Amino acid sequence: MKHDEMLPGVSENARALNFEAGFRRVGALVLLAMIIAALSGVFSGGYFSSADKSNADQTLKIHYERFGRLQNEETLKITLQTQAAKKYVISLGGAFNENYQHGNVWPQPDSMHSRGETLYLVYNNITHSGNFTVWLTTTPDKPGKSINTVAVNDEAAVRFWQFIYP
């Protein structure tokens, strides 16, 4: 059969065939780029996703993932430089309460409440000086970019963003 002959019942479109051929040429490269991006943390936990932020006084440090997936649990690590104070109040604000479901908190706070758009974790009588770390598990409820804040007592807040993929 000659190359120029048309098969009965087959309607060939040269433009569609050229598009398919071009996509096959670059398809493997696009797939490889997506795999490398996923492994490096562009879509969730990994090198580009893992982040640390501190306030100006270096008394509050948070460790979080910049990128996450909708309905996938993630952990926020909050580290305080304590001075054996009577009370530490960790406040989580910004879009944090409206965009995330809160899960486990370890260690358990002495009390926990929310006022407006801010969640407060209250720890009384931390008797040691040095680092005090709180782990909070959260589950994103809404996709998109979320700007959140974490503060302790009346000190400067740490502002950070997260992007949640659907």
pLDDT in tens, 40-87: 777 777 778 899 999 988 899 999 999 989 999 999 999 998 776 788
0.75 surpassed by pTM: yes
Three-state SS at 109: coil
Maximum distance among all Cα pairs of the chain, rounded to whole angstroms = 90
Domains and CATH numbers, the chain: 50-165 (2.60.40.10)
Where does 40-128 have alpha helices with state H? Answer: 96-99
Query: Which residues contact residue 152 at a Cβ distance below 8 angstroms, ignoring those fewer than 6 apart?
Result: 59, 60, 80, 88, 89, 90, 91
Report the C-alpha gap between 152 and 88 in whole angstroms: 7
Q: Give the chain's count of helices (H) and strands (E).
A: 2, 11
Q: What is the pLDDT of residues 120-153, one digit of tens each?
A: 999 998 877 789 999 999 999 999 999 999 999 9
pLDDT tens profile 85-95: 788 999 999 98
Compute the distance between CA of residue 94 and CA of residue 108 in angstroms, rounded to an integer.
22
Contacts of 113 (CB under 8 A, 6+ apart): 119, 120, 122
